Structures are given as structure tokens and as C-alpha cells.
Amino acid sequence: MRTIVKTLLAGFALSGLAQAQEPKYQEGTHYQTLEQVAGYQPIDGVEVTEVFSYLCNHCATFEPYMQAWKERLPEGVTLTRIPVEFGRPAWALYALAYVTASVMGVAEESHPLMMDVLWKEKRQMRNIDELADFYTQFGVDKAKFISTSESFAVDMRIRREQQLVQTYGVNATPTMVVNGKYRVTANDFDTTLAVVDYLVAQELTKLDSGQVADQPATE
């Protein structure tokens, strides 16, 4: 009888140890590992990408979480954004505006205000002319903004990013992608950013140890 009890206790102890060693966030539940992503261009360090739309109300709700999260980004981690179109003309217009602003170097400072104008002030801009007016408050020349929006560089970037969105398997916004390798699938905003932190820590550890061979292939 004592032998059976000892065996059971040992089994419980091993089971508890195994559970303690299991990662807090699980692949398939909290995130998906992506196949090698053609077209992804790795950067130095770790890249976290938010796939969003200005016309997505969930993205507007998520924005304060993102602003707070940005304040604690560790060294070596870069935040980027991809504005999606999803085949919707209005979303495509705002994607064009964001990419144009990014090319002109004002996307980061203008991003929170754009969200506020759309979702707090309930003021929507209907064409590129009105959007160009919005960006003039950030020192951008209106005519230059419009001409940049029509440029080859902006067009090619939008095409490449929309292809990445499809390759990532993104079908809802906001969605977070880490290093072009992991798509976060958590169900709430706090958990989403906690999973991002978890994956970022893994990627930073790999970089520190020189493990860079598993970066997605590029074409």
C-alpha cells in the first residue's frame, strides 16, 4: 500500500512539474506559427507589426492599449503598422493615406490624432484632398502629399503590404504579427499584448544567442 501511495505521489509531483514548465501561452491557442513568408523583409532586431484600419472600431478601441504598450518597448524592438484594405474602397483610401504619411515621415505622430478625429470627433474624410488637408497640420505640403500618394513608391508598398496581409492569414483587425513569424490569436487586448511580449522575449533571446537561421525566407 505504501508503495502505491509513493508511486501516486511521485506521479502527481511529476505532473505538477510538467505543468509548471509548460509555457504560459500556447501555439494554436494564443498564437499561430506562420510558414515561411515570401516578401517579408527582416530587420535588425525584432519587428512587431499591427495590422489595422482607421475605419475599424476595434482598432480605435485598441489604440490606447497600443500607446501604453509602446512606452515600454525594450531596446531592439520596432513597431510597424500595415493598414489593410480588405477589398473595401473606404479602407483602401485610408490605407493610402497612412502609407503616404509614412513615406513622408509623419505617420507616427499623426496616427493617434487620426483615430481621435474619426472616432471621438466623428469626422470622416471622404477623399484624398480632405485627407491631405488633415496632414498639413504636421508640416506636410498639401500638393506634395497628393502627388506622393500617386507615386510608384507608395503604390508598390501598398501592393507588397496587402500581399503580406494575405500571406499572414489576417482576416480581422487589429491583428499583431511578430517578426513575420507569429500571428497572435488571443481573444482580448490585454492578452494579445502579453502574448506579443512573450514572443518578443523569445525572439530577443534567439538574437542574443545568435539563432537567426529561422527567419522567414524572402524573395
- Residues 62-117: tens digit of each pLDDT: 999 999 999 999 999 999 999 999 999 999 999 999 999 999 999 999 999 999 99
pTM above 0.75, yes or no: yes
User: What pLDDT is attached to residue 39?
Assistant: 67
User: What pLDDT is attached to residue 114?
Assistant: 98
Write out the chain's pLDDT in tens, 219 residues.
444 434 433 443 444 433 445 678 999 999 999 987 666 777 789 999 999 999 999 999 999 999 999 999 999 999 999 999 999 999 999 999 999 999 999 999 999 999 999 999 999 999 999 999 999 999 999 999 999 999 999 999 999 999 999 999 999 999 999 999 999 999 999 999 999 999 999 999 988 887 654 544 433
Total length of the chain: 219
User: What pLDDT is attached to residue 211?
Assistant: 63
- Superfamily for the 2-208 domain: Glutaredoxin (3.40.30.10)
Q: Which residue has the cell 503604390?
A: 155
User: What pLDDT is attached to residue 35?
Assistant: 84
User: What pLDDT is attached to residue 22?
Assistant: 64
